[in-house]
Amino acid sequence: MAHGPLYLEDLAVGQVYRSDGEPLLVTAEMIKAFARDYDPQPFHLDEATATKTLFGGLAASGWHTTALTMRLQVNNGLPLAGGIIGAGLDELKWPRPVRPGDRLRVENEVLEVRPSRSKPDQGMVKVRTTTLNQNGEPVQVFVGNLVVPRRNSAT
């Protein structure tokens, strides 16, 4: 939807920004590599063992899904001026696992835009970010609070 950096003044409740470009392909090796370093549980590391777990097969760590979402956001998701600077999350959900072969994309819906009273050069934006697989099914949903600069403060 947007092509240039977005400032606080460009954002309004109800706007939706979708990642453009190719979806991000998740491979078994990506899942295992992340798991080896950050979440070494059997259902993230080994296909055979994973079939005997709640997941019924290899599944990405939720934290890996979060990291992939950030990559999508930075590469082609939400083009905020000054970068995507988080001030916290209100909620984080993983409604279904990410599997090898999934192709991920993101959608961002602006829920709230609030200029800062104490810092006139910025504001806070509340955004619902939904990461979707190739079937349009949500694999992650979170509501983030982002610090966004105001246009008149840009140098």
The string of pLDDT tens digits covering residues 74-83 is: 998 899 999 9
- What gap in Å lies between CA 37 and CA 35, rounded to an integer? 5
Contact predicate 129/138, CB 8 Å: no
Number of residues in the chain: 155
pLDDT of residue 153: 62
Tell me what pLDDT residue 68 has: 98
Q: What is the mean pLDDT of the chain?
A: 95
Alpha-carbon distance of 151 to 67, in angstroms, equals 28
What is the pLDDT confidence band of residue 2, given thresholds at 50, 70 and 90? low
> Which domains are present in the chain?
8-153 (3.10.129.10)
Kindly tell me if the per-residue pLDDT of 137 is higher than 90.
Answer: yes
Q: What is the mean pLDDT of residues 38-59?
A: 97
